[in-house]
Structure 1
Amino acid sequence: MLESFNDVIEYIENHLLDEIHKQEIEKISGYSDYHFKRVFMFLTGLSLNEYIRKRKLSLATQDLIAGQKVTEVAFNYGYNSSDGFSNAFQEWSGVRPSEISMTTNQYFFPKLEFSYTLKGGISMEFRIEMKEAFNIIGVTKRIALQFEGENEEIINLAQSITQEQREAMHSVGNLYPHQVINASFNFDGRDSDKDGSLEHMIGFLSTNIMGREDLVQIHVAKQLWAVFPITGSFPQSLQDTWARIFSEWLPASSYELVEAPEISFSNYNDPPHARYSEIWIAIQKK
């Protein structure tokens, strides 16, 4: 997998001054647009568009230092106006493009290269299940991606749930695990230049439909899921498993991601050092 990811990086590098086509990325990588961008984001901590934007601004820096005009550089790197380019450049570097030749600090964002790291043979427990269609009913908030530690935005979202909402969700939660779940979906990086973010949902799984305006309902179609049971220190074991799914399990498996909510839950009655959790990701055969 990583070889094909490096081929995509090379394609991007050769077309930073041209239009980059998602169909070509799919062809080179051998993966769907969604799978590639989701795995790319998890492996690098960047959305694909953010990576492309930073590479363009890095090369634009060299062009500006070489004496090219701001308007010319802005046009070359696909900006509709010099103002738009100037704002993006200042946000990235901290200085206006017209000032770059006068500062002693230069800004550089290197080309990525994916490489394998050999790790000790630590087994991963998982099962493949076909699940019937279901609904997720709960509350949502768009949050920034965070790969380590407890996410304060998720904590704030959980604390915002009223008792009435909680009781309503409990009343319709008629599917396993019969408790609060976390679901993530609508990952950016497909249309956004900004830092990675996603829609996070706290709710219950249900076959029912709820018409409350203060609760969101997401329908998930019947499909195949990879389920990863985890017991260990929370939240570290959960986050470590997320990382291993994307960096180890997916590259070695015969499956690819399907665009669907990624689901997890934890049993908070267990002690933090030995807490049971599960991660569900929707998949299909490559």
Structure 2
Amino acid sequence: MIAVLNRLVDFIETHLSEEIEVTGLASSLGTTEYHLRRMFSSLAGMPLSEYVRRRRMGVAAADVVGNGELLGIAVRYGYGSAEAFSRAFRSVHGVSPGDVRRNGGPLRIQPQLRFRLTVDGNNSMDTRIAEHPAFRLVGYSARVPLIHHGVNPHIQAHIASLPEAEHLRLKDLSNTEPAGLLQVSADVDPDYTEGSELTYLHGVAVGETTPVPADLDAIEVPAGTWAVFRTAGPYPAALQSTWAATATDWFPSSLWRLRPGPSIVAILDRASDFSTATCELWLPVERT
């Protein structure tokens, strides 16, 4: 995967003035758009689209400080008007092309990325591969913003709004793996952009033919393969650390890649104040 990401970066660098069609590019690199975007954003710390925009505007800055007509520069980099180009330029550099032309800056140049796989110790990840028939995730869902670090207050508020009796009711419905009460993230932006909206479901897993009460939301999950990562420690820090390590350590050195589908966290055990927990992180995967 590291080699694929570097080939992606090289392609972007030679096509900055063109529209980059990621689906076909991912296929030519032997992977999928979904996996490519998720791995790029996890390792680069920014969405693929944001990296392209920053590099494009960084290279365009060299033209802006010259004497060329701004409209011509805008068209060269794929913008239909000088105004649209100016907005993109300002979003990266914090100033307009006119300001840069008059003052020579300031400029915020995004360096070209280069991905490397580093080995830091010999810690192994507690992982298993599970083949799972089709099932349903049922419970109470809400649209919430994606937050990468710390407790998500929107999710916290959603769970707190449910009466205790509903938690017990959901537990009674659970009849298949992943077991127990689940934290489900679905419809996640492939770029994994912080602040983008996702569907969060607090619920349980049930068999495909299990009747779903009319007052509960349901997500149909087709049969497929899952990578299951077990983690224990401070909550949610240990879980978030394991989630990050799947991108930096596990996927680059495995024969698996992410496929579209919900991400599921099963809470196996926890302290009474939820300061620590033992969890399983279920990620939908397929062979590369």
Q: TM-score when scaled to structure 1?
A: 0.86
Q: State the Cα distance separating 1:185 from its structure 2 match.
A: 3.0
The answer as to 2:279 corresponding to 1:277 is yes
Q: Distance in 2 between matches of 1:279 and 1:168?
A: 23
Q: Distance in 2 between matches of 1:162 and 1:238?
A: 26
Q: Deviations over 1:10-32 (max 9, x none)?
A: 00111111232324422453211
Asked whether the 8 Å contact 1:47–1:188 carries over to 2, the reply is: no
Instruction: State the AA in 2 paired with 1:229.
Output: R
SS at match of 2:266: strand
Q: Deviations over 1:209-255 (max 9, x none)?
A: 3443xx54221101111111112222221111111111111121111
Structure 1 runs (4+) deviating above 6 angstroms are: 162-165
Change (3 A) 1:72 1:176: same
Q: Deviations over 1:83-139 (max 9, x none)?
A: 222223223322222222234422211111101212100011111111121222321
Change (3 A) 1:70 1:265: farther
Counterpart of 1:21 in structure 2 is 21
Change (3 A) 1:157 1:48: farther
The answer as to 2:155 corresponding to 1:154 is yes
Q: State the Cα distance separating 1:172 from its structure 2 match.
A: 4.1
The answer as to 2:212 corresponding to 1:209 is yes
Change (3 A) 1:136 1:74: farther
Counterpart of 2:56 in structure 1 is 56
Superposition map of 1:30-109 within 5 A: 30-103=30-103, 104-109=105-110
Judge which range, 259-268 or 118-127, deviates more: 259-268
Change (3 A) 1:42 1:180: same
Q: Distance in 1 between matches of 2:194 and 2:82?
A: 22
Q: Distance in 2 between matches of 1:65 and 1:195?
A: 33
Q: State the Cα distance separating 1:171 from its structure 2 match.
A: 6.0
Q: Distance in 1 between matches of 2:13 and 2:256?
A: 28
Q: TM-score when scaled to structure 2?
A: 0.85
Change (3 A) 1:12 1:143: same
Q: Distance in 2 between matches of 1:12 and 1:209?
A: 47
Counterpart of 1:253 in structure 2 is 254
Gaps of 5+ in 1: none
Change (3 A) 1:189 1:275: closer
SS at match of 1:266: strand
* Number of residue equivalences: 281
Q: Distance in 2 between matches of 1:94 and 1:254?
A: 42
SS at match of 2:155: helix
Q: Distance in 1 between matches of 2:190 and 2:258?
A: 16
Asked whether the 8 Å contact 1:227–1:279 carries over to 2, the reply is: yes
Asked whether the 8 Å contact 1:128–1:224 carries over to 2, the reply is: yes
Counterpart of 1:2 in structure 2 is 2
Gaps of 5+ in 2: none
Q: State the Cα distance separating 1:199 from its structure 2 match.
A: 1.0
Aligned Cα RMSD in Å?
A: 2.7
Change (3 A) 1:163 1:62: farther
Asked whether the 8 Å contact 1:56–1:77 carries over to 2, the reply is: yes
Q: State the Cα distance separating 1:47 from its structure 2 match.
A: 1.5
Judge which range, 262-271 or 14-23, deviates more: 262-271
Counterpart of 1:188 in structure 2 is 189
Change (3 A) 1:269 1:238: closer
SS at match of 1:265: strand
Asked whether the 8 Å contact 1:4–1:28 carries over to 2, the reply is: no
